[in-house]
Structure 1
Amino acid sequence: MIATTPSIVTQSETQTWIWQGFPIAYQALGTQGPAVVLVHGFGASLGHWRKNLPVLAETCRVYALDLIGFGASAKPVPGPLKPGEQVEYTFETWGQQIADFCQEVVGGPVFLVANSIGCIAIMQAAVENPAIAHGVAMLNCTLRLLHDRRRTTQPWFKRFGAPLLQRILKQKWIGKAFFNQIAQAETVRKILLKAYIRQEAVTDELVELLLAPAKDPGAVDVFIAFTGYSQGPLPEDLLEVLPCPALILWGEDDPWEPIAIGRELAKFPQVQKFIPLAGVGHCPQDEAPELVNPILRDWILSTTQSVDME
């Protein structure tokens, strides 16, 4: 079942795909060339690709997808999967959502492109469903520094402070109060100004794009569920078994995911290129689209030619 509604985010319409009984939002643009699926990071949505989708659509068929729990997609109650009622907010869930989207909506293998936590989700999709991915491109992949298996390498205040904060936030009234403090325009702007090096990229439009879904019923429960999630795969777990080539782009000045640690990912044989982006923060696709778009376009087209020759 697919429905369409006008969108001011891109030169496209927001469409609805029903997955596991839940409405999922996506946009599509472009009529020819290889298929590309764009996946956002934590707290973001398909609108975070508004500067990329139209440009990539000049040579590709491009889709931008809202993960369940984010953007205009459904935000069901957290819990073991019950179609139409609840889901677990894990990378396994998002990976399966992406894989099913590629099969049911796109109708074949794609290039998967993502930012932040979306990078783990697209690798999970490719590892569990190798036939869907020609390649993955990752922009400032989350290193999951607060993962249970990472904590021994962290400073003492992070080793003990993060689990304590997670337990506190699971108290629903505390978690809701904390979320309501974050879900304010000025707070969102301050967070973005830390994540973005190019301050001029933090516009009122961007703040509203990220803030609007926080007003949806269920948004606070999604936030609490994910902030308490310290299990699941690490990026190196998935890169080790990734069945397709990978491209990694990294804003050199990312305050959340240090490039010095991120460079370790380039050692995996599936990583064809690791490209640092000078003077850029955590969300290169939005902060520096004039750098990112040509790199993605050229990599997708060159990789497509390699696939066609096989």
Structure 2
Amino acid sequence: MTFVSSPSTHSDSPVLTWHWRGYPITYQTQGTQGPAVVLVHGFGASLGHWRKNIAALATSCRVYALDLIGFGGSAKPTPNTQMAYTFETWSQQIADFCREVIADSVFLVGNSIGCIAAMQTAVDHPDLVRGVAMINCSLRLLHDRRRATQPWFKRMGAPLLQQILQVKWIGRAFFKQIARSQTVRKILLKAYARPDAVTDELVDLLMVPASDPGAADVFLAFTAYSQGPLPEDLLEVLPCPAIILWGAADPWEPIALGQALANYPCVERFIPLEGVGHCPQDEAPELVNPILQEWFSQQVGGNKL
């Protein structure tokens, strides 16, 4: 295990490097007291997506923001031959990080697919996870088992597009079109309900990893990943308490569908965030941070919300 510090453009904390299975993994940490908290980003994002949360949470917690392998500043090994980009892989990465770097049990906070990775970690390694906070959990609407519930054009079109994108030159050309500042900004303006939150800084932090060798192949591998767990599969067996926050204006993960996740016994509370889109931790940190801090405090104190 090797640690290397390097300058950070996202917060006052340096970006550190931990080696996992021989690959460099980037993370940030801040805070010296309180429970350990690990922040897990969504698809195409990175630890920089938590830049508005780390310092606030660090006033009462030991906070770690981690780049999943394949994303952010972490290594991007070749899919299938060098690395399987699945939730089980990310679960093992998070668990090993908790054991080797933090050396303690943790609360996990995820956004989008980061919620699935967090829950998978809790299910696979129940000794390590004290609770899971989910922010606009990915419903995995293009999953094979979801297909029958989708409109006909999505049932037919999604698998066809996935197949076409697996043709290497087509897939890479598609990624090249997506990985442009103007395109990223347009996507963010659809995902965020508050346009003023879509800043140059946000666009840049999402753009930089896209130029890394292997970034296109990881992106294409995950777009073809329609298997693995659905959120309800994991909630059914989640061995720890959970809380769900949901930006009510999310155009990708509709809150009407997300509210069904509140029916599982492990979910202590479902909190709608009005006027907020898919990434509330970045779009409305003034709403998200206090909720998380209160929940961690109550869990540690043995009280339920």
Tell me which interval the TM-score lies in, with the shorter structure as reference length: over 0.9
Q: Tell me how far 1:208 sits from its aligned partner.
A: 0.2
Taking the TM superposition and a 5 Å limit, the aligned residue runs for 1:1-310 are 1-79=2-80, 86-306=82-302
What is aligned with 1:83? none
What secondary structure sits across from 1:150 in the alignment?
helix
Distance 1:162 1:132 in 2: 36
Q: Tell me how far 1:189 sits from its aligned partner.
A: 0.1
What secondary structure sits across from 2:127 in the alignment?
helix
Distance 2:80 2:162 in 1: 17
What secondary structure sits across from 2:302 in the alignment?
helix
| CA deviations over 1:164-209 (Å, ceiling 9, x no partner) | 0000000000000000000000000000000000000000000000
Distance 1:28 1:149 in 2: 38
Distance 2:165 2:7 in 1: 36
The one-letter code sitting in structure 1 at the alignment partner of 2:19 is: I
Aligned-residue identity in percent: 71
CA RMSD of aligned residues (A): 1.0
Distance 1:95 1:35 in 2: 17
Q: Tell me how far 1:8 sits from its aligned partner.
A: 1.9
Q: Tell me how far 1:33 sits from its aligned partner.
A: 0.5
| CA deviations over 1:216-251 (Å, ceiling 9, x no partner) | 000000011000000000000000000000000000
Q: Tell me how far 1:79 sits from its aligned partner.
A: 1.2
The one-letter code sitting in structure 1 at the alignment partner of 2:41 is: H
The one-letter code sitting in structure 1 at the alignment partner of 2:72 is: G
The one-letter code sitting in structure 2 at the alignment partner of 1:266 is: A
Distance 2:20 2:30 in 1: 21
| CA deviations over 1:125-183 (Å, ceiling 9, x no partner) | 00000011110000000000000000000000000100000000000000000000000
Q: Tell me how far 1:283 sits from its aligned partner.
A: 0.1
Q: Tell me how far 1:271 sits from its aligned partner.
A: 0.1
Q: Tell me how far 1:214 sits from its aligned partner.
A: 0.2
Unpaired stretches in structure 1, ≥5 consecutive residues: 81-85
Distance 2:194 2:119 in 1: 28
Distance 1:103 1:248 in 2: 26
Q: Tell me how far 1:268 sits from its aligned partner.
A: 0.1
Q: Tell me how far 1:11 sits from its aligned partner.
A: 1.4
| CA deviations over 1:276-306 (Å, ceiling 9, x no partner) | 0000000000000000000000001110111
| CA deviations over 1:244-275 (Å, ceiling 9, x no partner) | 00000000010000000000000000000000
Distance 1:152 1:281 in 2: 26
| CA deviations over 1:89-108 (Å, ceiling 9, x no partner) | 01110111111111111101
Question: How many matched pairs?
Answer: 303
Scaled by the length of structure 1, what TM-score is found? 0.97
What secondary structure sits across from 1:240 in the alignment?
helix
**After TM superposition, what 4+ stretches of structure 1 lie above 3 angstroms from structure 2?**
none
Q: Tell me how far 1:64 sits from its aligned partner.
A: 0.1
